[in-house]
Amino acid sequence: MTRIEPLQANFDLKVLNKKQLKQVREATLYVLENVGVRFPSDRALDIFQEHGAMVDKDSQIVRLPAEFVLTAMGKAPRSFTLFGRAPDTELLVGGGHSYFATDGCGVETIDFETGDRRLSCKDDVAKMALVADYLSSIAFFWPMVSAQDYGRLAPLHELDAAYNNLVKHVQTETVMGEDLARYAVEIAQVIAGDDDLREKPALSSLICTIAPLCQDKEGIEAAMVFAEAGIPVGFMGMPTMGSTAPAVPGGALTIGNAEAVSAMVLMQLIAPGTPVFQSLLVSGMDPQSAEYLVTLPEKYLCNVAAVQMAHDWGVPALGGTFGLNHAEPATWQLGRDSVYTALMCALAGTDITIGLGMLDASTLLVPEQIIFDDEIYHNHRILARGLDTEMEGIAVDIIENVGPGGHFLSHKHTRSHLRDIWIPELTHPRMEPEDNQNGDIRKRARDKFNQILAEHEPTPLEEAARHEIDTILRNAEADLGR
Amino acid sequence: MSEEMYAKLTQAVIEGEPEDAELLAKQALEQGLDPLTCVNEGLTKGIQKVGELFASGEYFLPELIIGAEAMKKALAVLEPAMVGDQSREVVGKVVIGTVEGDMHEIGKTLVGTMLIANGFQVYDIGVDKSAAEFVAAVNENDADIVGASALLTTTMLQQKKLIEALEEANLRGKVKVMVGGAPVTNSFATEVGADGYAEDAISAVDLAFRLIDAPA
């Protein structure tokens, strides 16, 4: 059965106080007005110019006065709906829940059968979509690995694999460039049926900016196509302290903020009211090898600050969690870091959050990892919920009824509430199968993964829709080649 | 008509509704149904199902215990109405309690409940019971097994006293002794001369079947 159990935080974790938030906002506005952001797209530059921004066509740098930024951002909605193709899969983003998704987009897979490390392919996306459809931690789906067997059409085939195996909302993080984006919109329109994509956005998109202070040509041009079609678009800044950003968290946040905001402003110029969202993933580098480091306390603080900053602009925040620099599932390090990323983001009120199921800095798909992350997610979901101190949650009448020295085991209140206490399944399985009497936790996770893969049957895409998507893929191949 | 009543009794036990079970038992007698058949065709089937659901991980302890409570409530109505040499078929008779000086109740209650769910007749004598009280209960109920619970390192030696008291009363030959509780171990059980030790309520049932040499 397809289910979604979203996280709802009853806490309000903040790392920036009002004054600090204002400092970062002012720094960002200063950078946008005085330093600018490079938009390597003639179309984007023309649009900025038409609307009166300061555009230097030679350097492709756009500078935006504070008033310009604030007026445009004022048009972005604080909440919007993401459409899934089954009842109960619609997500009201910005409505107080935190919806989690898979991680992406990896390039290697630990083979489902042989366990060998190999290049990723479309079938991996399909299998993971099916498992994600089942897991209640997953509210929407990022195609987890690249469909490398389809060349430059990989992003479209990732969507095909996703829609065919999952009824939940799909967000692409790989569709880049105008051409691919147009075909992606066509595919999304098949899922939305006769309805306007604005009403039923069956697809959303996440585009990465390039630090420092640049947009990616293909990324921003895809984003413009999406905005025109009414597809929600998010922008993720990924500044690295010391290399692509100053070696201070505040500077990295400011750079990422300026990149994302400049792109969101462009979306509002193209189609005022376009749903947009913001994400900032600050990282560090190894000071000698320059290796990408994400397991840093500063990064975790920045995750929370980024949520605050998105909300300060009046748009939803996307949190990036899990998917850290680990080569092995089920390590103590993974447990530690998931708390700092996923739990801290959740407690800060992130609206959508990606990251379940990948290792090696989101490049390696390890099948059973999503089962570990699912369990950690549910831990966090309960933690974020807080405690119930209402009448039923204290049950003083039951305490009175049992009295000193008795027990609560035979009480009907216990019977009806004991099941509310969530018990981690991997560490406390109800039954241990014959072939795992020594309780190997990785085997437990793998068994569960295999069982879902073998038994779960997502509601299939209608025959006509499948056919239409096949036609779109064929047209794309004839048009663009592989 | 009678089939319907048996099914309702079964259901009251499965769903853990002690009040309903008691009421149904009274109605059954009013309708002139045979109390022993009510037990065998109604309550026993219910408690067996509860045991199965528990074993398969679907039921938790509260469902198990409330199911047993429902059975007890109905039995309290039906058993006194049995005539002549009628009595329900039981796997074995067990006297169970917590030893002297120890007020812990839950462990032995769980073991007792699991035994009931598996067809044993259980006489739960309560907590803080002296060796003499255990011996009296064994005599009175013609028990096959006595189960003694101790949760404190300071009270576990009472289990040894109980075994000595059973020897003095010449009962040791006919009654098996099982011991349990958080500080109790297998080696302690051997040391004090008990017939068996079980770590939890589920293995206690297996142990009880083994001790009386009955198929589980």
Q: Domain check: are A23 and A170 in the same one?
A: no
Cβ pair A329, A368 in contact under 8 A:
yes
Residue A167 lies in a domain: yes
Confidence of residue A326 (pLDDT cuts 50, 70, 90): low
Residue A473 lies in a domain: no
Q: Domain check: are A137 and A42 in the same one?
A: no
Write out the H or E segment, with its range, that includes residue A355: strand A352-356
Interface touch A405/B105, C-beta < 8 Å: yes
Q: Domain check: are A68 and A80 in the same one?
A: no
Tell how far CA A160 is from the center of its chain: 19
> Which of A407, A430, A431 is facing B106, going by the closest CB pair?
A407
Chain B environment of A414 (Cβ under 8 Å): 62
CB atoms within 10 A of CB A152: 15
Interface touch A415/B109, C-beta < 8 Å: no
Which domain CATH number covers A269?
3.20.20.480
- B120 vs chain A: nearest CA distance in angstroms? 19
Q: Domain check: are A35 and A174 in the same one?
A: no
Dist. CA A135–CA A145, nearest whole Å: 18
Q: Domain check: are A32 and A83 in the same one?
A: no
Chain A environment of B109 (Cβ under 8 Å): 407, 409
Helix, strand, coil distribution of chain B in percent, nearest 5: 55, 15, 30
A416-458 residue pLDDT tens? 999 999 999 898 887 788 888 888 999 999 999 999 999 999 9
For residues A140-169, give the mean pLDDT: 97
Residue A269 lies in a domain: yes
Q: Domain check: are A246 and A327 in the same one?
A: yes
SS3 category, A201: coil
Q: Are strands A117-119 and A108-110 parallel, antiparallel or unpaired?
A: antiparallel
What is chain B's mean pLDDT, rounded?
Answer: 92
A61-87 residue pLDDT tens? 999 999 999 999 999 999 999 999 998
Number of A to B CB contacts under 8 A, please give it: 33
- B167 vs chain A: nearest CA distance in angstroms? 32
Structure tokens at B76: 């309290």
Residue A478 lies in a domain: no
Tell me, yes or no, if A443 comes closer than 8 A to chain B by beta carbon.
no
Give pLDDT, residue B1: 66
Tell me, yes or no, if A19 comes closer than 8 A to chain B by beta carbon.
no
Residue A299 lies in a domain: yes
**pLDDT higher than threshold 90 for residue A153:** yes
Backbone angles phi, psi at B124, to 5 degrees: -90, 110
Dist. CA A412–CA A418, nearest whole Å: 10
> Which of B57, B60, B69 is facing A410, going by the closest CB pair?
B69
Interface touch B62/A414, C-beta < 8 Å: yes
Q: Which residues of B touch A (CB under 8 A)?
A: 16, 56-57, 60-63, 65-66, 69, 103, 105-106, 109-110
Q: Domain check: are A56 and A97 in the same one?
A: no
The parts of chain B modelled with pLDDT lower than 50 are none
Residue A481 lies in a domain: no
ipTM for the complex? 0.80
What is chain A's mean pLDDT, rounded?
Answer: 94
Q: Domain check: are A36 and A108 in the same one?
A: no
Q: Which residue has the tokens 């990924």?
A: A238
Domain B2-81 in this protein, CATH class: mainly alpha
Residue A467 lies in a domain: no
Chain A environment of B65 (Cβ under 8 Å): 409-410
Give pLDDT, residue A292: 86
Domain range for A129 is 76-385
Domain count, chain A: 2
Backbone angles phi, psi at A60, to 5 degrees: 60, 25
Chain B environment of A415 (Cβ under 8 Å): 16, 60, 62-63, 66
Tell me, yes or no, if A413 comes closer than 8 A to chain B by beta carbon.
no
CB atoms within 10 A of CB A74: 11
Please list the residue range(s) of chain B that carry CATH number 3.40.50.280: 93-211
> Which of A406, A415, A430 is facing B66, going by the closest CB pair?
A415
Please list the residue range(s) of chain B that carry CATH number 1.10.1240.10: 2-81
**Per CATH, which fold does B93-211 belong to?**
Rossmann fold (3.40.50)
Dist. CA B143–CA B90, nearest whole Å: 12
Q: Which residues contact B68 (CB under 8 A, 6 or more apart)?
A: B47, B50, B113, B116, B117
Q: Are strands B121-129 and B93-99 parallel, antiparallel or unpaired?
A: parallel
Q: Domain check: are A148 and A160 in the same one?
A: yes
Lowest mean pLDDT, pick from A92-106, A211-225, A396-410, B130-144: A396-410
Q: Domain check: are A138 and A217 in the same one?
A: yes
Q: Domain check: are A22 and A151 in the same one?
A: no
HSE-CB at A178 with a 13 A cutoff on CA atoms is: 8
Residue A66 lies in a domain: yes
Give pLDDT, residue A323: 66
Backbone angles phi, psi at A464, to 5 degrees: -65, -40
A379-418 residue pLDDT tens? 999 999 999 898 888 999 999 999 998 889 889 999 999 9
Cβ pair A281, A85 in contact under 8 A:
no
Q: Domain check: are A160 and A34 in the same one?
A: no
